[in-house]
Copies of this chain bind each other. A is one copy, B any other.
């Protein structure tokens, strides 16, 4: 027990060293572990259970909107990867190459998929003939590999888990609508289930996905004021279809190229949860994705009737939420600290006096609030408490973002705000890539996106060159 207590104390305070705080949380709460495979991680049960909850909720949304799951090969032959010029330029430098099968050298090397546009294109080319075959609304849950130089658990690793949607449509309007629909599904999921506010926007041309006509993204503010791209949705036009010679016969019996999209979120979302809601005492999980939503802690459990009552309560709550009873012989104090660190949203304390009074004490992790609830009402109250927590956590994250976001009109203002720490900067921009680069060079913040709900004051001028502004841009340092 002593060493476990020490473990809790080993979380470095956020303000002291945010990077170390993050690493400590990830390790101490056993979300993941290192392995001898450089840049790859072991996702431990507690971390994987969060991912399963994310999968479960998102997959239901995908299916509700007509998408079907499939599974395409892990490998991409080099010649296939090379078919779309921009795409291969973007990805070739960061793929892992398989060159041998057993003891035989391959005649053509294959990369481990960094993303699967090329494979989907090949499959679509083989299976789509007429407008009756469209749309194709496919998704796959799988692993991908990108040979990153610097890696961090969940945020950037050589292998990660994700889902990648790939859809094919008869018209560009339909494909654009799909791109937007999926961005909104991601945004609603992040704000609803992860209690994490996001900014929906379009990437500037310099930051588009390799091969895309337009890339849309959701950007969230982490506790340190940096931005994290939480999901992307790409519109490809018919560029890939042309490169892969995918055609279909229209209703009017014409041969045409279909229009395409792709969209994805990754295990990075677990990192986003940590850095949006965590604090110096540890993790802080939104109930919607928490592996344990409520933990029952018996007080004075050696006293007669306490453990029986705790077990009966666990049984009662089993159909209501993901509940765990900790009847181990660790002290209540140790257990408090442990489940606080692990970010369990609700703690239910149950001691002899509570039992006598037919009540329990409910502790809320994110706010520290405690309230007394009648045992008879608990099953009914818990779902309401979870909703309250989701909303409370979301509001808190919104407040944090509001307190660290600034609208500026001059370059100097950017520098002034950044002196107090990283933050979100909303600034007018002329649309010129040169200005974008200059802002990054002078201030260190890059363009994250052109927010969907961004607005320019009348006569607004580019924060860099002073020419007429075309867009409001969100600038920030990014993960």
Residues of B within 8 Å of A75, CB to CB, are 37, 40, 96, 159
Residues of B within 8 Å of A69, CB to CB, are 45, 48-49, 52
Copies in the complex: 2
Q: Is the CB of B77 within 8 A of A37?
A: yes
Q: Which of A100-135 contact B (CB under 8 A)?
A: 100-103, 109-110, 112, 119, 122-123, 126-127
**Cβ-defined partner of A98 (8 Å) among B36, B98, B122:** B98
Residues of B within 8 Å of A43, CB to CB, are 70-72
Q: Which of A55-96 contact B (CB under 8 A)?
A: 68-77, 80, 92-96
Stretch at the interface among A7-15, A138-146, A190-198, A206-214: A138-146
Q: When chains A and B are docked, how far (Å) is the Cα of A69 from the Cα of B36?
A: 20
**A406 in contact (CB, < 8 A):** no
Residues of A within 8 Å of B, CB-based: how many? 54
**A41 in contact (CB, < 8 A):** yes
**A177 in contact (CB, < 8 A):** no
Tell whether A102 pairs with B95 under 8 Å between CB atoms, given A70-B43, A73-B35, A123-B42: yes
- Quote the shortest CB–CB distance from A399 to chain B (angstroms): 34
**Cβ-defined partner of A143 (8 Å) among B37, B101, B119, B143:** B143
**Cβ-defined partner of A70 (8 Å) among B44, B96, B100, B142:** B44
Q: Is the CB of A97 within 8 A of B96?
A: no
Q: When chains A and B are docked, how far (Å) is the Cα of A440 from the Cα of B102?
A: 27
Q: Which of A124-170 contact B (CB under 8 A)?
A: 126-127, 138, 142-143, 145, 147, 158-159, 161
**Cβ-defined partner of A100 (8 Å) among B52, B74, B99:** B99
Residues of B within 8 Å of A95, CB to CB, are 101-102
**A412 in contact (CB, < 8 A):** no
Q: Is the CB of B94 within 8 A of A97?
A: no
**A33 in contact (CB, < 8 A):** yes
Q: Is the CB of A147 within 8 A of B37?
A: no
15 A-B pairs whose Cβ atoms sit less than 8 Å apart in the complex? A33-B127, A34-B126, A35-B73, A35-B122, A36-B77, A37-B76, A42-B71, A42-B73, A49-B69, A51-B71, A71-B161, A75-B159, A93-B102, A96-B101, A97-B98
